Amino acid sequence: MNELFGTLSDGTPVHRWTLERGGVRVRVLSYGGIVQSVEVPDREGRTADVVLGFSDLDGYLQHPEPYLGALVGRYANRIAGARFPLDGYTYALAPNNSPNSLHGGERGFDKRVWEVTPIRHGVRLSRVSPHGEEGFPGRLEVTATYTLDASGALGLTYEAVTDAPTVVNLTHHGYWNLAGSGHAGGHELRLAASRFTPVDADLIPTGVLEDVNGSRFDFRTARKTGSGYDHNFVLDKGVTETPQQVAELHDPGSGRTLTVSTTEPGLQLYTADHLPSPFAPGDGIALETQHFPDSPNRPEFPSTVLRPGEVFRSETVYAFSAR
C-alpha cells in the first residue's frame, strides 16, 4: 500500500509504503529510505512497534541527526578528518561531525528522496548519487531492496555501481526497542564478535583490533546491553557471500527476539545515549551492519573501495520471534 506521508518545502512529495507478511507489518518512507515502523507480536500475540520513529515527516526534518530508521551513505559511520586517499589523490568531504565526515556528510542518503518501485513482497528504492556529491568521487547508481519473507523477516539488500573509483559503505540505522516503549538497556544482546575496534576521543578507530575477553565489550554470551556503547565490533565470520547470523537481541519482558544476519564484517552497537524528544536516552539500540569506520584511511581494514565494472552488494536480514 502506498500513501502520501508529507511534502518537503520545495513541494516534493514523500510517500509511505506498507509491507505486511508473516504477522509483521513494516512501513517504509521514500524520504531517506526510512523504516518508520516494524510491528511484531510478543509471546502472548500482542503487537507493538519495535523501532523508534516519528509519526510525521516534520519529526524527521526537525531531528535529522539520530538518523532514525534511515538508509545511510555513501559512507556509513565516520571518515577521519573528512578526507581519504584513493589512487594517489586525496578527496575532501563535508565535515559534518567536526572534524570528521559522518554517515555521508551534510546531506547524505538519509536526506534524499528515493524513487520507490513495488516488487513482490517488498519495495525497491533507487537513486543516482552524482560525482562530487558531498565530496565523494564517481557517479554512483544505488538500489536498496526491502522485502518480507514468509516468516516476516525483513531483508535489506543494497547494490551499487560506479563510473569511477570510489568508496561505499551502506547501512540501516534503525533503533530497536523490542518492548515497544521505555528504556531498552535491559535488553539482552549476544554478538558473534571476539574483537572490536577501540576509538579515540572523536570516535575514530585507532587501528587496533582488540580482544573483547574480560572486558565490557564481551557479548559472546548474552547479557544486558546497558549504556555507553558507540563501537564497531569485528564479526568473527568476516565478509561472506550470504548472510550469516551474528547477533541476537532479546527482551525478557515481552519475549520478543530479534536475530541479525549479514554479509558484512562489522556491526556498530549504539545504545542511543543521545536522542531528541519525545525519546529519551537509551530508548533504542542500533545494530548497524557495516564495514569498519574510517576504512578508507585504514588499508589494514577490509576494503570499501568500489571500481568501475564491480558491483557493491550488502545484505542484512532482521528476523523476529518470541519466547
Q: Active-site residues: which are they?
A: 173, 288
Question: How far is residue 176's CA from residue 269's CA, in Å, rounded to a whole number?
Answer: 11
> No. of H helices and E strands in the chain?
1, 28
Describe the strand order of the beta sheet including 47-49 as a list of residue ranges.
Answer: 2-7, 13-21, 24-29, 35-41, 47-49
CA atoms within 13 A on the CB side of 311: 8
Contact between 17 and 112 under an 8 Å Cβ cutoff? The reply is no
CB 38 within 8 A of CB 153: no
Q: Could you tell me which residues come within 8 angstroms of residue 260 by beta carbon, excluding any fewer than 6 positions away?
A: 245, 246, 247, 248, 249, 267, 287, 289, 316, 317, 318
Relative to beta strand 195-197, strand 89-92 is unpaired
CA nearest to 232, candidates 309, 286, 155, 313:
286
Angle, alpha carbons 110-104-200 (nearest 5°):
120
Residues in the chain: 323
Distance from C-alpha of 145 to C-alpha of 125, rounded to nearest angstrom:
6
